[in-house]
Chains A and B, each alone.
Chain A
Amino acid sequence: MGKLLVKDKDVVVPGEVLAEGMDYLPSYGTYRKDDKIYAERVGLISVDGKVLKSIALSGRYLPKKNDTVIGKVFDILISGWRIDINSAYSSVLPLQEASFDYIQKGADLSKIFALGEWVVGKITRVTSQNLVDLSVKGPGLRKLHGGRIIKVSPTKVPRIIGKQGSMVSMIKDTTGCRITVGQNGVIWLEGEPKAEILAVQTIKKIEQEAHKKGLTDEIKVYLEKNSKDLKTEYSAPKKDDKKVDTKKAKDSKPKAKVLDVKENKQD
């Protein structure tokens, strides 16, 4: 005995009755009171057998372990840096997670990551009080140079990345821009000025229409239509952006070594 009052992909609001009776199970974004299940946030309904979820359509980023995020250095500590990850919670990048190289004791940390610089990091730990630890050691993780930073709602990130990265790859291929998407809604991109505009406009369009069906095709058409007057003097990047970035990280290792030697001499 149970009556479902909504269907998959419906938009629901807090307090809306989703189901009656004891048949259905409330999950993420929904709750049960007596014999009714209510929505507990604005979201898109997902009906998975008997499990009801309300997938968030808006909301600030809540740090999760293993998320790849893009953040800005806002404080330099004695043994690390504080990184703003566009959340209610800042994160700490400890010294030992900054680089594969040995960093000398007493080294000037601002020479590794300076105030205002942006990094791509991975969240290694989130405590119960939402204290966050970050690491920049790993494939694709690095300091960002140049380019532009834009912010989108974190709830739209999965749509912007697409299934197995298909959506963001489409944007990269058409515009020739390098793009890194953080789970925290911060996106870095770099390309020719006009190409960057198209990439940004496309991302914003996906953000606006994330809840609609047939978006992938619509975006494909949009990109094709608007990329006609983009210059194609640059070479399109390799499909696997991660490989390119790891290579860059390897190249930067020797530089760090030289830095430490210098510091040593000054002692």
Chain B
Amino acid sequence: MRITKMNKDLKNHVEKALMQNVRIDGRKNDEFRKIKIETGVVATAEGSAKLTCGDTKIIAGVKLGIGTPYPDTPDAGVLMTGAELYPMSNPDFESGPPSSYAIEIARVIDRGIRESKTIDTKNLCIEAGQKVWMVNVDIGPVNSDGNLIDLGALAVMAALKNAKFPELKDGVPDYKHLSKKSLPVSRTPVEITVHKIGKSLVVDLTHEEEKLSDARLTIAVLEDDTLCAMQKGGETPLTMEDIDSMIELAIKKSKELRKLL
């Protein structure tokens, strides 16, 4: 159905239920849907993961190739995160170039990995100034039912941890043969997006719930509770109190999700 202005009556009704910690699918405000992760599922990727959370289904794949480094970092490999919102996965997604939301998802997930030095790109150097490993991780949603940032980030981490370098044949990757050498992943950032709907803080929103969100804050958390990326979204401003509560909730949930990796 057409995306139109959100009906205030409907929103009030939902907000009242959230104040009683009740969501339409029976979950509590701070409850994630059941998550299942399978790794090594894509034969053509060097690392991969398929993640389901409720009805959301995402595939993440890692491709490792050899290229030339950026001129300002001649001894560092290159890490790039891509995300597309396939129209296949939701009737609200349109064909065409990536929307700003798709770009935001990719960039927020990328920041969490990059800023925490989860992959030390200096470890990806083959020949300084000439040859480095290029790590491309891409997210492909099969069914989009909300929370693509958190779940995309989790799928990406699972795929990166699953990745192995291809054998080299005359200096060129032989994709038919994977070596036993894993991609060096030294940290485990987990991203949690906390939404504010009315006065309630809610996590893991479905696609329909996201339409009611007033503001959201995505927080990337490391194993030692350090924060390594943040992104505020939504048009409503947040108070310092809100932000503090959201960070506390994010840190708590990140520990639960990290257990799945």
Contact = CB atoms under 8 A, between A and B. Distances in A.
B97 to A, nearest CB: 26
Contacts of B8: 116
A147 interface: yes
A148 B24 contact: yes
A169 interface: no
A190 B20 CA distance: 16
Report whether over half of chain A's contact residues are helix, strand or loop; otherwise say mixed: mixed
Given A148-B13, A196-B17, A201-B26, A84 B7 contact: no
B6 A116 contact: yes
Contact of A84 (B1, B9, B24): B1
Contacts of A200: 24-25
Interface residues of A, number: 24
B4 A193 contact: no
Contacts of B5: 115-116
Interface in A180-230: 190, 193-194, 196-197, 200-201
Nearest to B19: A193
A116 B7 contact: yes
Nearest to B12: A146
A159 interface: no
A150 B20 CA distance: 20
Contacts of B2: 72, 74, 84
If over half of B's interface residues share one DSSP class (helix, strand or loop), that class is named, otherwise mixed; here it is loop
A144 B8 CA distance: 12
A86 interface: yes
B168 interface: no
Contacts of A74: 2, 4
Nearest to A144: B9
Interface residues of B, number: 19
A38 interface: no
Interface in B1-51: 1-2, 4-10, 12-14, 16-17, 20, 22, 24-26
A145 B25 contact: no
A149 interface: yes
B202 to A, nearest CB: 14
Interface centre among B1, B5, B20, B24 (most CB of A within 10 A): B1
Interface string A122-158: 0000000000000000000000111111110000000
A24 interface: no
Interface of B: 1-2, 4-10, 12-14, 16-17, 20, 22, 24-26
18 contacts: A72-B7, A73-B4, A84-B4, A115-B4, A115-B5, A116-B4, A116-B5, A116-B6, A117-B7, A117-B9, A144-B9, A146-B9, A147-B10, A148-B13, A193-B17, A196-B24, A197-B24, A200-B24
